[in-house]
Chains A and B, each alone.
Chain A
Amino acid sequence: MTARILRPTILLVLGAIWLAPIYLLLVNASKAPAQYAADQVWKPISDFALFDNMREAWEIGGLGEAVTSTLLYSVIGPALAVLFGAAIGFAIVALRLRHGFFWFVLVFGGTVFPLQMILMPLFVGYVEAGIYDSRLGMIAIYTAVTVPFAALVMRNFLGGIAHQVFEAAVVDGASTWRIFWRIYLPMSTSALVAVFILQATFVWNDLLLGLALSQSNDVRPLMTAAAALQDTYGGLQLTAVLAGGLLVSLPTVVLFLSTQRIFSRGLNLGQF
């Protein structure tokens, strides 16, 4: 039947179109600046200068400093968020916080409005409080924006742990802190890790908060620095800009590929 041939053909043609920009990125990010010709971007490379270009973007574009900051932000921010989310989940589910549902909706409601809505006051407030353009300030806001989602997932996940677990621990004389730290948190490692990965990716890729709340090279997050590469054409070759774009994406690509297994396991579960 024609569908036999038509289906893979359409997919292959579409797939080729999809890979074309990737090809352009890889090829031109690998060209030595002298070899690069603006009117021949499709031409394959003759010598391989990807790493030189990356080094140039890294040094001149200040990506090195930005990587350190961003690593800090995308580890500490989501880690705190997951912890805070788990704590309020624990309070609602296990300790039966009074008006727990109200508090939960309040925290989760933090994701409802667009980030644009809070940029200006944050900027002004940060300047007033003296934490504008500081790593502390960036960590604080990244924690805040990732808490609501963490609270949602952790509350649902902890809700699946039988309350008898809590009662048994109380009978054994454990304090609430100990129960949280030693029983509930270890039991929810998988959810903690999943939320952490998702939110760390979000922080890693953030541009807007970085633009609004930071300025100096050692505070500015990676995407903001990478976006600024575009404007420094004077000092940077286009090949280095492309290499920089490739470089800042590598961690998320690696994360994506290495979590494919978790993802496909979820896929299988979906069939039951």
Chain B
Amino acid sequence: MSAPATAAPTTPSRGSAPPEPRRRRRNTYGWPARGFSVPAVLVVAVLLYLPFLWTTWISFTEYNGLGSPSWVGLDNYRAMFDDPNFATSLRNTLIWVVGSITVPVGLGLLIAVLSHGMRFGGWFRLPFLIPYAISGVAVGVVWRFVLQNGGGLSQALDALGLPGADLRWLSDAPLNTLVMIGASSWQQSGVNALLFVIGLQSIPREPIEAARLDGASGWRMFRHMHWPMLRPLTTVVVGLSLVASLKTFDIVWIMTKGGPGRNAETLAVTMYEETFVNSAYGAGSAVAVFLSVVTFLAAITYLRRQLSPERAV
């Protein structure tokens, strides 16, 4: 009771504003506050959390969309780990993760470093940004056209006298996954380059100048000055690529529908295939739960490793 009374004189700088009776104000706006929160909480709870819980439950049942689900315990998970398609899908997803955190990030960094501080650097970067503005579906359409048997790429290789013109880019595994990572890198590198350019521009000039006076340049300058200072940004870019690559769906679906004999499927495609093509909802849900757990663990592990103080040098 006495707290507000004694607090008032200690805050003279606030002028005529009365001391804030926090507890009472909460009571005053309790109902309006709840009212304003309801729409957001409601749509998220009903359309995101409820389905999430339902999927988790269905993954322990056998269910084809008709009748009612019957509890089968861990059977779906056991079947999933025994399924050769799942093994392929897991392998492809891993290739996607490794490919996506190296190629587009590496190329983005290369483009940023090469064009940074250069006259007309923005113009040099423009070709890399155009693919980013195009939708994922259109990227799939274009690259399927380029990579089909005897398509644009094969014709170019043939004309240049290079080998590889008769490769079946989108049919043979793991080649099809690798070229699709190429297509995805084509789209992603530009925006990564843009992020790295922002990072390079925000590096303070003084230490760079000092290093230059000490005779550092080229690779040594990059390795010991720019690279360490870009680390926080690299962490973010790699983290985003990691999470996005685990969920790869659009480009694979458009270009190959998962490939002949399901050989180009990623976990996200397998989940879609099981649920909406095979109507095996339990099996599809098990893949979805597995994917969610892996995504969650990967994100947490990565962030903890990157942000732990021992490594922050």
Contacts and interface: CB of A to CB of B under 8 A. Distances in A.
Contact of A3 (B51, B132, B202, B218): B218
Interface stretch (A44-52, A186-194, A252-260): A252-260
A121 B272 contact: no
Interface string B31-59: 01111110111011111111110110010
Interface string A31-63: 000000011111000000000000000000000
Contacts of B96: none
Interface string B168-211: 00000000000000000010001000000010011000000000
B26 interface: yes
A87 to B, nearest CB: 4
Given A15-B127, A91-B37, A147-B44, A110 B49 contact: yes
Nearest to A205: B135
B243 to A, nearest CB: 9
A245 B142 contact: yes
Determine chain B's interface SS by DSSP, over half rule: helix
Central interface residue in A3, A14, A212, A241, by most chain B CB within 10 Å: A14
B134 interface: yes
Contacts of A169: none
Interface string B125-155: 0111011111111101111111000111001
A118 interface: yes
Q: Which residue, B41, B47, B111, B218, has most C-beta atoms of chain A within 10 A?
A: B47
B114 A249 contact: no
Interface string A85-123: 101101110011110100100110010111111111111
A145 B124 CA distance: 36
B47 A122 contact: yes
B73 interface: no
Contact of B275 (A120, A229, A230, A271): A120
Nearest to A246: B138
Contacts of A8: 118, 124
B118 A7 contact: yes
A248 B152 contact: no
B133 A253 contact: yes
A16 B186 CA distance: 12
A143 interface: yes
A41 B159 CA distance: 12
A74 B142 CA distance: 24
Given A106-B41, A252-B134, A114 B118 contact: no
21 contacts: A8-B124, A10-B114, A18-B128, A24-B146, A24-B152, A25-B145, A88-B37, A91-B37, A95-B29, A97-B33, A113-B295, A113-B296, A116-B249, A120-B51, A121-B58, A123-B276, A140-B43, A140-B47, A176-B36, A230-B141, A230-B144
Interface of A: 3, 7-8, 10-12, 14-16, 18-22, 24-25, 28, 38-42, 83-85, 87-88, 90-92, 95-98, 100, 103, 106-107, 110, 112-125, 140-141, 143-145, 147-148, 151, 164, 167, 176-177, 180, 204-205, 207-208, 211-212, 223, 226-227, 229-230, 238, 241-242, 244-246, 248-249, 252-253, 256-257, 267, 270-271
